Amino acid sequence: MNAKPFDITTDVAWCPGCGDYGLRNIMLDVLADLHLNSENLCFVSGIGQAAKSPQYYDVNYFNGLHGRALPAAVGIKAANPDMKLIVQSGDGDIYGEGGNHLIHTIRRNPDMTVIVHDNMVYGLTKGQASPTSNQGMKTPIQTAGVSAFPFNPVALAITMGATFVARGSVGDKEKTKEVIKAAILHKGFALVDVFQACVSFNKINTHKWYKDNTGYIPEEHQKNDRLKALSLAFSEEPFFLGIFYQVEGIKIFEDFISVYENLHEPLYKRNRNMSVIKEIMDQKK
């Protein structure tokens, strides 16, 4: 018998010492503590080492194309608004290839939690720069050092109107667990950027680097103060951890879907009326 619900014994393709294990352990505790019903829970990811995470839990999941976790997640929400959705993927996947989807998914405020393994590198493809890589970092592709300045996911999410924005660090299991739990319980779009080391391909942002360069948001911070949240998001000394911004009671994506106005039954359960579909198609001939 497995020790924790949602745990499975399986071959894991991560390097020894990878921060992905730490986030996996955090997530197994979070899922157990929240007593989520596995039938109404779906994980979604894209491609990358981090994106393999859902394969290592005993859950329903959808593995999309690289960068395409969010459109798939929005589609699942539209077909079944009752589904609890957790997107878990990498910084390259969500902020790089999927960056445009992130911007526009935030604007819709779907009720889902997006957890990003932020190791500041493309791990799976062996160490190219990701959007969050430090300027100057040398990689097998960026041999003279990364010229672009880093993407700031927390500031972007606050600016776009995400209704919950936080950052955790795998190095602090207990506090990161609480942040992720709050994100999952939040109604609306929640982004949790999670700092973690890539021991094989990022020799700069090590476990020690994350420890030395992070600090918690002061307790007196009012989570609904958006401008203050934004100024905390710009800090790099330290990079703050905790909940930057949370606002409740904002209408969610699902509330705008007209087919649910008078009938709650999820679309996927409804019978298709083929004669109506045929009529529409015939009109287009």
Q: Which residues bind ligand TPP (CB under 6 A)?
A: 47-50, 66, 90-93, 97, 117, 119, 121-125, 130
CA 179 to mean position of chain CA atoms: 13
Q: Which of 151, 180, 176, 149 lies closest to 164, judged by CA?
A: 180
Q: Please say which residue, 6 or 43, places its beta carbon nearer to Mg ion.
A: 43
Asked if residues 44 and 67 have their Cβ atoms less than 8 Å apart, the reply is: no
Judged by CB under 5 A, the residue of 45, 88, 105, 119 near Mg ion is 119
Total residues interacting with Mg ion, rule: CB under 5 A: 5
Partner from ligand TPP, Mg ion, none contacting 167, C-beta within 5 to 8 A by type = none
- Indicate the burial class of 122 (C-beta count within 10 angstroms; 0-12, 13-18, 19 or more): buried
Sole window of 17-25, 62-70, 115-123, 239-247 interacting with Mg ion (rule: CB under 5 A): 115-123
Q: How far is the CB of 130 from ligand TPP (least distance, A)?
A: 5
Q: How far is the CB of 162 from Mg ion (least distance, A)?
A: 20
Q: How far is the CB of 125 from ligand TPP (least distance, A)?
A: 4
Q: Is 89 in the site for Mg ion (CB under 5 A)?
A: no
Q: How far is the CB of 253 from ligand TPP (least distance, A)?
A: 24
Strand order in the sheet with 112-118: 60-63, 41-45, 84-90, 112-118, 189-195, 164-169, 239-246, 214-216
Judged by CB under 5 A, the residue of 90, 127, 150, 153 near Mg ion is 90
Q: Please say which residue, 49 or 109, places its beta carbon nearer to Mg ion.
A: 49
Q: Which of 83, 108, 87, 113 lies closest to 98, judged by CA?
A: 87
Output phi, psi for 26, to 5 deg.
-60, -45
Partner from ligand TPP, Mg ion, none contacting 47, C-beta within 5 to 8 A by type = ligand TPP
Q: How far is the CB of 67 from ligand TPP (least distance, A)?
A: 7
Q: Please say which residue, 110 or 123, places its beta carbon nearer to ligand TPP.
A: 123
Q: Is 91 in the site for Mg ion (CB under 5 A)?
A: yes
Q: How far is the CB of 92 from Mg ion (least distance, A)?
A: 5
Query: Which two structure tokens, joined as six digits, stand for 18?
Result: 């990878």
Residue that has been written with the tokens 């951890």 in this structure: 241
Q: Please say which residue, 49 or 246, places its beta carbon nearer to Mg ion.
A: 49
Partner from ligand TPP, Mg ion, none contacting 125, C-beta within 5 to 8 A by type = ligand TPP
Q: Which of 185, 10, 7, 227 lies closest to 84, judged by CA?
A: 185
Output phi, psi for 103, to 5 deg.
-55, -50
Q: Which residue is nearest to Mg ion (CB)?
A: 90
**192-66-15-1 Cα dihedral, nearest 10 degrees:** 70
By CB under 5 A, the residues from 149 to 178 that bind Mg ion are none
Q: How far apart are CA 140 and CA 219, in angstroms?
A: 41
Residues that bind Mg ion (CB under 5 A): 90-92, 119, 123
